[in-house]
A and B are shown apart, each in its own frame.
Chain A
């Protein structure tokens, strides 16, 4: 978990200078925009003048460090993104071995990741390059090029300005990093479970799932009951879902920097669960979102590393009882810092405590996830509150009939109107 800055050192991560002293503008920007992915919030709510006064005040904590004048970093001439630039960027990404920390596909899963420490000896995580909105110093191209050129002070991220083959490689790398993910996630509010007549594939990499609609859902750390999780690793799960007459299947994608079975002491099995009420009713009453409570249980469709897919009933995070006899199946793959999982079960509930999934019914759903490699287990989890999913109505032939009928009727009506108008003249 990132510690608060020690102002007496005058050492700042984010700077646009060639030396170690940040510009006043750099401090102002962090106060204004905050630091995404940390506990530092944006303070844009304060008037400009107050924020500038804060900058001046913060500097007095480290008078020696600020004796030196900041020297503005000169970035090489900007090169805009193009196919050639991206190709060169990827080449450089490999040549300078960004993957050592950031992983082959940029998901912060590189082999050096577990050993990384900051200047004070605290563990520090590399940036997930596919989630630009979590970059501490901002997600713009200039922000990224600057971090590459002069590094991130106090962390293992070194300066690369003199360590690329040609100065403009900084921009090719920037363009490549920008191409690895969206600027911001587009979060879904409703998860649609699409109807199909086909079989639902177990394989998470099947073509079927690539074509399915993806809904990105944000997760937060669990901070209600002890032990809490203030710095969750899993902050986003993407859901794809489909059903046919007999089955319903959920396809989940999430980033986790290590595939962990756990030693039971410091590390635990990676896990994820989808939570539903045990019966889906028209009532707006739902069980307590944090795995239910003593009076109302929840149903969990879950997966755990080493154990596979299973079902459980929970009356709170400390009271989870596996449900036996269900016909669940699934398959997981883990590549380059990302899990892809399919969990499948009968659409109509078989046995007590399990919901039946009906088309066109708003069905409450919540997600819980654990990065066991980071020591998450039990209540130390990421979670969502209740969301809704909806099984779309099965496609009938009516959609081929009604629109043409409407079109013909409209045309006929228009024809009648025109004729009536002509007659009246």
Chain B
């Protein structure tokens, strides 16, 4: 009875909060920015023979430096609107699965990230960063989940020394942000109306920015073309 009541209260509270959140955003007059990132060059995907842990990692793997999908869309780029506050604070998750980091690029707000190991073998989370303290922690097979803090905005490279081909990125980005899909498209929701700076970052192709005029309640499209270095 008591439990039911508590759950009821919680549900009510959450619904209330969500409604309040929706109305405030609505009041601000947020719009959606559809960011399209294109790349004219050739994809850079290296194939590699695997010589250990082949039951988990397979006998061949790929290092995905530049992934180009349909219509020259550039995947794994991060689009962000740094001026848009109030983005979702959901905990970011990166998984080590099949001796790859999944997803290849994780986008998160400054805060905590959950690091999973679903491979049942040893990995080590080794980050390369300057703003945040770099991490090098072992994650043996029995350590399924670890939580780490990344509190400063930064693009953090993540590697595993046990499997040198493993490469991932954690984009710690304040404001609304998302990674592009295989078609090179990322949707930034609830971006406040008015002039907004949109940034695009890619691990090997660098950064670009543009200004867009966001209109409340509608979709603004912006297109980037990344150049090979």
Contact = CB atoms under 8 A, between A and B. Distances in A.
Q: Do A and B form a real pair?
A: yes
B51 interface: yes
Interface string B103-134: 00000000000000000011011101000011
Contacts of A165: 142
B128 A158 contact: no
B143 interface: yes
Contacts of A117: 161, 164
B146 A162 contact: yes
B162 A95 contact: no
Interface in B47-78: 51-52
Contacts of A119: 128
A94 to B, nearest CB: 10
Contacts, number: 65
A115 B161 CA distance: 8
A251 interface: no
B130 to A, nearest CB: 10
A413 interface: no
B146 A159 contact: no
A156 B140 contact: no
A97 B161 CA distance: 13
B56 to A, nearest CB: 12
A15 to B, nearest CB: 13
B97 interface: no
B52 A95 contact: no
A159 B124 CA distance: 9
Interface string B4-48: 000000000000000000000000000000000000000000000
Given A112-B164, A116-B161, A95 B133 contact: no
B163 interface: yes
Q: On chain B, which size bracket covers the interface?
A: 20 to 34
B121 A115 contact: no
Given A100-B122, A111-B52, A160 B162 contact: no
B138 interface: yes
B136 A158 contact: yes
A97 B133 contact: no
A158 B126 contact: yes
A164 B138 CA distance: 9
B100 to A, nearest CB: 16
Contacts of B133: 19-20
Contacts of A112: 52, 161-164
A159 B162 contact: no
Nearest to A95: B140
B137 A159 contact: yes
Given A112-B163, A112-B164, A156-B161, A97 B146 contact: no
26 contacts: A20-B133, A95-B140, A95-B142, A96-B122, A96-B138, A97-B121, A97-B140, A100-B52, A101-B162, A111-B51, A112-B164, A115-B164, A116-B161, A116-B164, A117-B161, A117-B164, A151-B136, A153-B136, A156-B124, A158-B126, A158-B137, A159-B137, A160-B138, A163-B137, A163-B139, A163-B143
Given A158-B124, A158-B138, 17 more contacts: A95-B142, A96-B140, A97-B121, A97-B140, A100-B52, A101-B161, A116-B161, A117-B164, A119-B128, A151-B138, A156-B161, A157-B136, A158-B125, A159-B137, A160-B138, A162-B137, A163-B137
